[in-house]
Chains A and B, each alone.
Chain A
Amino acid sequence: MQEKYKNPFEHLIAPGHTACPGCGQLMSARLVLDTCGPNTIIANATGCLEVTTTKYPTSSWKVPWVHSLFENPSALASGILAALKQKGLDKETNVVAFGGDGSTFDIGFGLISGMWERKENILYICYNTEVYSNTGYQASGATPFDANTTTTPPEKKSMGNNFLRKNMAELAIASGCIYVAQTTCGYPNDIINKVKKALTFTGPKYIEILTTCVPGWGTESEMTVQLGKLAHKTGIYPIFEYYDGEYKAMKIPAPALKVEEYLKYHKRFKHLFKDEKGKEAIAEIQKLADKNIEKYNLS
Chain B
Amino acid sequence: MKYQLEVQPGTTIKNKTGGWRVAKPVVDHEICIGCDMCRKICPEGVCFPTGEKNSKGRIFYDRDLDFCKGCGLCAKECPVTAIKMVDDFK
Chain A: residues with CB nearer than 8 A to chain B? 1, 3-5, 7-11, 13-24, 26-27, 30-31, 53-63, 188-189, 192, 220-226
Assembled-state Cα–Cα distance A188/B21 (Å): 24
Would A59 and B73 count as touching, CB distance under 8 A? no
Q: Nearest 4 A-B pairs (CB), nearest first?
A: A16-B12, A222-B72, A22-B71, A21-B71
Residue in A8, A14, A223 with the greatest tally of chain B CB atoms within 10 Å: A14
Hey, which chain A residues are within 8 Å of B15, CB to CB? Answer: 16-18, 55, 58
Within 8 A of A (CB), among B1-51: 4, 7-17, 20-21, 37, 40-46, 48, 50
Would B43 and A26 count as touching, CB distance under 8 A? yes
Assembled-state Cα–Cα distance A192/B36 (Å): 13
* Closest beta carbon of chain A to B38's beta carbon, Å: 11
Hey, which chain A residues are within 8 Å of B76, CB to CB? Answer: 222-223, 225-226
A4 to chain B: closest residue by CB: B62
Cβ contact of A21, chosen from B41, B43, B48, B75, cutoff 8 A: B43
Chain B: residues with CB nearer than 8 A to chain A? 4, 7-17, 20-21, 37, 40-46, 48, 50, 62, 64-67, 69-73, 75-77
Hey, which chain B residues are within 8 Å of A3, CB to CB? Answer: 62, 64-66
Assembled-state Cα–Cα distance A223/B41 (Å): 12
Assembled-state Cα–Cα distance A31/B43 (Å): 10
Given contacts A5-B50, A5-B62, A225-B73, contact A27 B41 (CB under 8 A): yes
7 A-B pairs with CB atoms under 8 Å apart are A14-B13, A15-B17, A15-B44, A21-B71, A22-B71, A22-B72, A60-B10
Would B10 and A59 count as touching, CB distance under 8 A? yes
Cβ contact of B11, chosen from A5, A58, A220, cutoff 8 A: A58
- Tell me if A's interface is mostly helix, strand, loop or mixed: loop
Would A60 and B12 count as touching, CB distance under 8 A? yes
Would A54 and B45 count as touching, CB distance under 8 A? no
Q: A14-B10, A16-B16 are in contact. List 8 more A-B contacts (CB 8 A).
A: A3-B65, A9-B13, A11-B45, A19-B43, A55-B15, A57-B11, A60-B10, A224-B41
Hey, which chain A residues are within 8 Å of B66, CB to CB? Answer: 3, 7
Hey, which chain B residues are within 8 Å of A4, CB to CB? Answer: 62
Would A225 and B41 count as touching, CB distance under 8 A? yes
Hey, which chain A residues are within 8 Å of B64, CB to CB? Answer: 3, 7, 15
Hey, which chain A residues are within 8 Å of B77, CB to CB? Answer: 225-226
Would B7 and A54 count as touching, CB distance under 8 A? yes
Given contacts A59-B10, A62-B9, contact A18 B17 (CB under 8 A): yes
Cβ contact of B12, chosen from A17, A22, A189, cutoff 8 A: A17
Hey, which chain B residues are within 8 Å of A22, CB to CB? Answer: 43, 69, 71-73
Hey, which chain A residues are within 8 Å of B43, CB to CB? Answer: 19, 21-24, 26-27, 30, 224
A8 to chain B: closest residue by CB: B48
Assembled-state Cα–Cα distance A61/B14 (Å): 13
* Closest beta carbon of chain A to B52's beta carbon, Å: 8
Assembled-state Cα–Cα distance A55/B7 (Å): 10
* Closest beta carbon of chain B to A24's beta carbon, Å: 7
A56 to chain B: closest residue by CB: B7
* Closest beta carbon of chain A to B13's beta carbon, Å: 5
* Closest beta carbon of chain A to B11's beta carbon, Å: 4
Hey, which chain B residues are within 8 Å of A59, CB to CB? Answer: 7-12
Would B71 and A57 count as touching, CB distance under 8 A? no
Assembled-state Cα–Cα distance A223/B73 (Å): 7
Would B7 and A21 count as touching, CB distance under 8 A? no
Cβ contact of B10, chosen from A8, A18, A30, A61, cutoff 8 A: A61
